[in-house]
Amino acid sequence: MGRLFGTDGVRGVANADLTAELALGLSVAAAHVLAEAGTFEGHRPTAVVGRDPRASGEFLEAAVVAGLASAGVDVLRVGVLPTPAVAHLTGALGADIGVMLSASHNAMPDNGIKFFARGGHKLADELEDRIETVYEQHRTGEPWDRPTGAGVGRVTEYAEGFDRYVAHLIGVLPNRLDGLKVVLDEAHGAAARVSPAAFARAGAEVVTIGADPDGLNINDGCGSTHLELLRAAVVEHGADLGIAHDGDADRCLAVDGAGEEVDGDQILAVLALSMREAGQLRKDTVVGTVMSNLGFKLAMEREGIQLVQTAVGDRYVLESMKAEGFALGGEQSGHVIVLDHATTGDGTLTGLMLAARVAATGRSLTELAGVMQRLPQVLINVPDVDKTRVNTSAELAAAVVEAETELGETGRVLLRQSGTEPLVRVMVEAADIEQARAVAGRLADVVKSALG
């Protein structure tokens, strides 16, 4: 069996790859593994279960709840809420497990299962591996040890989760948003109710788009992967800024008053300066990935803020933050983690904090985001090559040195193998887009000849 868990839970086409049987089995396995690990010792275990609005989430939620309850875990069903809300409630309610059903920014037919440990933190890799092993053992015939009578789990609707999460968001904001007009694109996803309520309660005038989920329209031409509608709406309504989430609202991208995109790197730059000013940016450090724009790195250097770069993936950003005690980190894609207030990327919190900075300074988002100049970035995927030799080919190494010499300090080259496909990604940044394209094209040709 191939590894079920990826970098962000178990994901696949609902009812094809991700079936009700798999969801139920993994949930039972998770309960048994956490019991083995001593998580439930001395008390009756509780789980928080939430989902995004996908139609498939309805039957998958039923399967997860059934699996957990059959293993003796009491379940609090919080309904449709963002991933970071489920993580927060898992911690705030003292639950032993959190489960979120979502495929984030993926198209509607997909879905996923993400488990959280006590405190709302992502499960450790070794626990995910153990859950897979235990699931496979029982899938092939070994019977479960099942509680009976009063030992089975009870299932309760926890409608208070919505208000509790919104109150948390408002409670951590440094200032109100009175006087701001904000357009919110909710991607017809999990934050369709939460985000407008939070912004409105914080004092903003709110215009919403993509906030009518019907189970089938999640991420469909809207949200953080499709900013066209938000750009147009910000300009049309004369708003100060726009905020876009993905389907489970762990991401946030923004649009300024002129309709121009403000990406994750720019949001991190704005928040880094704001948090340092408030004495909250521990060690004057922000965490990004190797794909962070060079303009972000140069801006942080100029401002006296250190940038730590990790492998691509918000899990690696979070690992670095927790290991070193850093307060802020994220990715260009809009995963932003403010560790003092969230255990995972929280798109609504990020958008609120960005808007709060605009309100507090009286400066436009255009001006604030101008702290960094986003350098042109060209990415070419080179397929059907031996990606394992990307770091050992002498011919390729020589071509990279030549490219870096040509680009100087205002450019950058990054070659990395795909984690899931037989291809190598060639990324080049330069002050001039034509130079970036030319250098990337040459390097892609060398990758083909050297690794083909």
Whether 155 and 169 share a structural domain: no
Whether 365 and 389 share a structural domain: no
Query: Using CA atoms, how far apart are residues 162 and 76, in angstroms rounded to an integer?
Result: 13
Within 10 angstroms of residue 164's Cβ, the number of other Cβ atoms is: 16
Question: Would you call 392 helix, strand, or coil by DSSP?
Answer: coil
**Segments of the chain scoring below 70 in pLDDT:** 1-2, 419-420
CB 342 within 8 A of CB 321: no
The closest alpha carbon to 191, from 105, 255, 122, 263, belongs to 105
Name the residue range of residue 361's domain. 163-369
Whether 139 and 51 share a structural domain: yes
The closest alpha carbon to 103, from 25, 175, 187, 208, belongs to 187
Candidates 27, 56, 102, 104; catalytic one: 104
Residue tagged 């191939």 (tokens):
2
The closest alpha carbon to 383, from 439, 414, 421, 409, belongs to 421
Last residue of a domain, one of 108, 124, 159: 159
Continuous segment of H or E residues that includes residue 400 = helix 394-407
Whether 289 and 347 share a structural domain: yes
Tokens of 4: 């079920």
Question: Would you call 414 helix, strand, or coil by DSSP?
Answer: strand
Whether 132 and 53 share a structural domain: yes
CB 423 within 8 A of CB 387: yes
| Greatest Cα-to-Cα distance within the chain, rounded to the nearest angstrom | 73
Report the number of distinct structural domains present in the chain: 3
Question: Would you call 372 helix, strand, or coil by DSSP?
Answer: coil
Query: Using CA atoms, how far apart are residues 33 and 144, in angstroms rounded to an integer?
Result: 12
Q: How far is CA 307 from the centre of its chain?
A: 20
Whether 145 and 284 share a structural domain: no
Whether 230 and 353 share a structural domain: yes
The closest alpha carbon to 413, from 422, 381, 421, 402, belongs to 402
Whether 319 and 253 share a structural domain: yes
Instruction: Consult the annotation and say whether 246 binds a ligand.
Output: yes
Last residue of a domain, one of 111, 144, 159: 159
- Sequence-distant (≥ 6) Cβ neighbours of residue 232 within 8 angstroms: 259
Instruction: Consult the annotation and say whether 320 binds a ligand.
Output: no
Instruction: Consult the annotation and say whether 248 binds a ligand.
Output: yes
Whether 189 and 318 share a structural domain: yes
Last residue of a domain, one of 159, 179, 207: 159
Domain of residue 398, CATH code: 3.30.310.50
Domain of residue 111, CATH code: 3.40.120.10
Whether 353 and 418 share a structural domain: no
Whether 281 and 410 share a structural domain: no
DSSP tag of 142: P
Whether 258 and 300 share a structural domain: yes
φ and ψ at residue 165, rounded to 5 degrees: -70, -45
Looking at the chain, the number of H-run helices and the number of E-run strands are 14, 19
Strands, E, within 316-372: which ranges?
Answer: 328-330, 336-338
At 417 the pLDDT is 82
Tokens of 186: 């909710």
Please confirm, yes or no, whether 320 is among the known catalytic residues. no
